[in-house]
Structure 1
């Protein structure tokens, strides 16, 4: 059943990732300016992720996880259909809000379902599936628009809805055992502080690198396709390191896993900044991204083990809330220092090293 949840995650993030690659289409056809579109997407991503905490707490007290997963993803796909025919700016923004909110609701309950047997590999497969879906989507939807036109999007959404309905028969009847427990901030939520720290820091650094790699590539006279390809290579390596990080966690512990991931990010981030050869910079970024994904699933597994009776809440904090805080911090940091590209890379490289030192010291004091 956990594999079915991973398939749903693939398609949830696959369809959710359609909007950004189609930005030129929506900007031209709806008369939206670049700044408004970019600001709206950035703000919406952070806000919807912050709400994951509330969704996680809510679904921890519900039994029919399989049913909710099915309904949420099918609703998301249903609303994606209308992206192909929307003609109003207001309706477009409303559609994107609904799609992003449904995607945000899905993640904590999906991760909770994937971790129901407390096996790290299931959570890793779930996480990797979402990464693959989001990674494939930009190339797929831009090719679809070029070949068929976005107006024909309903063909894809209806087809995939039927497929997912068939697959849902394996999970729709599942009921989990709920344990009534009053959570305390000090006794329960505060236990997740180390995980919050590392995830927020990782998101801060990843967001800066992923935002500024295309900008840097453009500054040195290379095409946008080159910048996009570099990001794709980093993400594809991350698919493997994401899963491998969970294996390392199960063989060792979260201290060693996070130390490997964050020192790796810091070292290869600094090499990217300090070494001038462009090919070595590309290599350094790809390895940096690999180490960034290394701790992604392992942090979710660790959070679920700390709150075994509130897996959805634990997942929402380790995925959505912490990630959103990191993104918002990077946005604020960019507002102050964003015109100095290399300084942004340097800051994003130092942050993981500082974070993992603070993280290890804080655990030693407990």
Structure 2
């Protein structure tokens, strides 16, 4: 292996580590919610959903704008400044008493991850050579593992030391920001793209049907995912599980989801992106209901398999969008990892309201049906030859 390849892999490794921390922070507020409800009887499920949505919306809706800007400029400082900014904002949430200020902090924190994701995913794309799909799947998997670690690390921290312990969670953000400052790729490898806005809009228009289908799939899947992160700990607690036990179950779902994301990337290379996306989403709903209707070890197995199925299409939908508009990869990342996810995050408020009016069981039931809806939407995506088939045909 050449020295250049070694350098590329090391930089991708640093970016993947940073992605793990960023997504750990992205799953920060759902771990805080059960403790806020304990401290304040007025903290309803709807309020919890609004708080999580404030972060999700700003972290997502702004990403396409960052993506368009980065396609033209390529600014490396956004990855470490964004990481540090999010860490500082979230570390203050445990010491805030006013709900409005708490929501504002959540919204401001979301801007940090909105800056990080399009730039970091573009850096990985640039550094990956001819192994873009596999290495992007690895980058995404690190993020999903960060999501999985969040309840495992934060719930015991808050339970043992109280919400003031949020202040110490700024330390990993500082350390990773310093790491990115020294090891993130330099601007000269991010050449930018001076394509006029009119040409970008023309590219979006020509690919609009495919992009709308992909965005629809991601939005509904994101609604399911964010609703589960918000409501599942509350539902498990209503079933007389402790916060620690509930956090372990959520961690299992997210960890198998991270593994499923990597496996899904490989499967899509062999059998095509559409087949993987449709099949995995249609399979998710019965697996989630298997978790809901069984008990003990069998229930945990169903939850683990459901998490793997739900998230197996995560990186695949991003690659599909980048293939739809290949000259604007950061914009594609912003639309998929950002805007589409923000649409789902906004709708979580509706699911939270359902939980307040008709109960958590009704809200969870609707949430478990959503992957099936996303799978149906995915049927409207275009079918492309599998990447492996194209490589074999080119030989």
CA deviation map 1:166-224 (0-9, x unaligned): 45322252331223332224214443122112212222333444444445434544444
**Aligned residue for 2:278?**
259
- Greater CA drift, 233-242 or 170-179: 170-179
Q: Distance in 2 between matches of 1:350 and 1:134?
A: 22
Within-5 A mapping of 1:67-216: 67-80=77-90, 82-83=92-93, 92-116=102-126, 117=128, 119-144=132-157, 157-158=170-171, 161-162=174-175, 164-175=177-188, 176-181=190-195, 182-183=199-200, 184=202, 185-216=204-235
Structure 1 distance, partners of 2:248, 2:184, is: 37
Aligned CA-pair RMSD: 3.4
Distance, in Å, in 2 between the alignment partners of 1:218 and 1:152 is 22
After TM superposition, give the deviation of residue 125 of structure 1 in Å: 2.0
The structure 2 residue matched to 1:298, chosen from 308, 316, 319, is 316
Counterpart of 2:193 in 1: which secondary structure?
A: coil
- The structure 2 residue matched to 1:227, chosen from 224, 240, 246, is 246
1:314 aligns with one of 332, 335, 338? 332
In the alignment, the residues of structure 2 paired with residue 82 and residue 326 of structure 1 have an alpha-carbon distance, to the nearest angstrom, of 26
Structure 1: runs of 5+ lacking an equivalent:
none
Q: Distance in 1 between matches of 2:360 and 2:167?
A: 41
Are residues 100 and 252 of structure 1, via their aligned partners in 2, closer, same or farther at CA, if it must alter by over 3 Å? same
Paired residue secondary structure (1:60): helix
Structure 1 window deviating more from structure 2 (296-305 vs 333-342): it is 333-342
Aligned residues: 362
Between the aligned partners of 1:225 and 1:50, the Cα distance in structure 2 is 32
The change in CA–CA distance for 1:349 and 1:72 in structure 2 (over 3 A counts) is closer
Q: 1:227 to 1:152 in 2, by over 3 A?
A: closer
**Structure 2 segments unaligned to the other structure (5+ residues):** 1-10, 384-395
Written as runs of structure 1 = structure 2, the 5 A alignment for 1:22-33 is 22-23=32-33, 33=42
Q: Alpha-carbon deviation of 1:78?
A: 4.0
